Amino acid sequence: MFGFSELIIIALVIFVLFGAAAIPRFARSLGQAKSEFEKGSKSADAAKPKKTAEKKPRSSAKLK
Helix 4-18 × helix 22-47 angle, to 10°: 110
Q: Tell me the pLDDT of the chain (64 aa) as tens digits.
A: 778 999 899 988 988 888 888 888 988 999 999 999 999 888 877 766 666 666 666 666 666 5
pLDDT given at position 34: 94
pLDDT given at position 5: 93
pLDDT given at position 28: 93
CA dihedral 23, 27, 28, 33 (to 10 degrees): 140
How is the chain split into domains, by residue range? 4-45
pLDDT given at position 33: 94
pLDDT given at position 64: 54
Q: Residue 19 CA to chain centroid, in angstroms?
A: 28
